[in-house]
């Protein structure tokens, strides 16, 4: 079976997942990748984002398996690539199907539901814990990176910034931040130690279903301060806030977790291996349809 992974923006997470996909079924499945131009003919196509359907030849779009990462709130429901209803979908949380159905989208095209989760190797490292609040990944508007920085300032807590957020306009205006860009702290090898050193991991998204650092932090025993979206309500977070929380409320939650930290133990979270197994099963089904 020939699989083409269509990844237009090969970021730090997707690159790692594609490496795992390449080695998961070497005897059964031939994988190729397409980042530019039109994808070559294949038995099935794995799309890491809906908009990458434009890379698939129109006559082959019935063979697409698209990952729906953030199909959780009104913002992502309006995604026109999903509304076109081409191909098949893999969701990551049951609420995604409920949200899509409420918007009149045919959910019969969902063939798998499995979160990506944390890398299988992620675990506590025993590094000394620091009084810091960690932010991982992109500073996208719906993640509310600016709210996080304001809350850290109110709480008088030093932010630790890992990944793309370590070098942008907002972080440049935070002189006391610990910056860990990808060239300094490559993903995934450096991250268990980063989570183990952080006093807490913070996510304050408005609609995000499961920021993957949520799984990664808990797998490494790092306490999590989160807004009530998606998987955050299913996992043992140290503090949960409403999505419309204020700077002060977030700051108070961070301080509370740092002053009265929960026991740092690894939490049993979904792992990459389960996502890979579910994805290959779904791809095989798509190829045989």
Question: Quick one: pLDDT at residue 77?
Answer: 45
Instruction: Map out the domains of the chain as residue ranges.
Output: 2-116+272-288, 132-259
| Per-residue buried b or exposed e for 125-163, using 16+ beta carbons within 10 Å of the residue's own CB | eeeebeebbbbbbebeeebbbebbbbbbebbebebbbbb
Q: Select 132-259's CATH number: 3.30.460.30, 3.40.640.10, 3.90.960.10, 3.40.50.2000.
A: 3.40.50.2000
Residues of the chain with pLDDT under 50: 74-75, 77-78
Token pair listed for 288: 């045989």
C-alpha span between 235 and 225 (Å, rounded): 11
Mean pLDDT estimate for the chain: 87
Same fold, 2-116+272-288 and 132-259: yes
Question: Quick one: pLDDT at residue 82?
Answer: 65
CA R_g for the chain: 19
Q: Select 2-116+272-288's CATH number: 1.10.8, 3.30.450, 3.40.50, 1.25.40.
A: 3.40.50
- Which residue in 198, 237, 218 sits closest to 122, CA to CA? 218
Quote the crossing angle between the two packed helices 247-259 and 145-155, to the nearest 10°: 60
Question: Quick one: pLDDT at residue 167?
Answer: 81
């Amino acid at each position: 079976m020939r699989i083409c992974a269509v990844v237009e923006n090969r970021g730090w997470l997707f690159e790692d997942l594609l490496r795992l996909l390449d080695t998961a079924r070497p005897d059964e499945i031939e994988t190729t990748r397409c980042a530019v131009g039109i994808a070559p003919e294949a038995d099935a196509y794995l799309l890491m984002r809906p908009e990458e359907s434009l890379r698939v030849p129109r006559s082959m779009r019935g063979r697409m398996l698209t990952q729906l990462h953030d199909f959780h709130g009104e913002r992502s429901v309006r995604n026109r690539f999903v509304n076109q209803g081409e191909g098949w979908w893999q969701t990551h949380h049951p609420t995604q199907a409920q949200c899509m159905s409420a918007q009149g989208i045919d959910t019969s095209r969902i063939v798998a539901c499995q979160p990506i989760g944390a890398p299988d190797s992620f675990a506590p490292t025993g590094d000394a814990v620091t009084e810091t609040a960690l932010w991982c990944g992109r500073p996208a508007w719906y993640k509310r990176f600016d709210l996080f920085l304001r809350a850290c300032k109110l709480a008088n807590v030093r932010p630790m910034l890992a990944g793309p957020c370590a070098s942008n306009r907002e972080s440049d205006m935070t002189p006391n931040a610990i910056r860990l860009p990808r060239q300094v702290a490559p993903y995934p090898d450096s991250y268990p130690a980063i989570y183990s050193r952080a006093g807490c991991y913070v996510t304050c998204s408005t609609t995000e279903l499961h920021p993957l650092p949520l799984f990664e932090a808990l797998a490494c025993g790092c306490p999590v301060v989160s807004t009530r979206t998606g998987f955050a309500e299913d996992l043992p977070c140290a503090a949960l806030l409403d999505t419309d929380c204020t700077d002060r409320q977030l700051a108070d939650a961070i301080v509370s977790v740092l002053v009265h930290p929960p026991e740092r133990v690894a939490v049993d979270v979904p792992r990459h291996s389960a996502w890979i197994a579910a994805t290959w099963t779904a791809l095989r089904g798509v190829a045989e349809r």
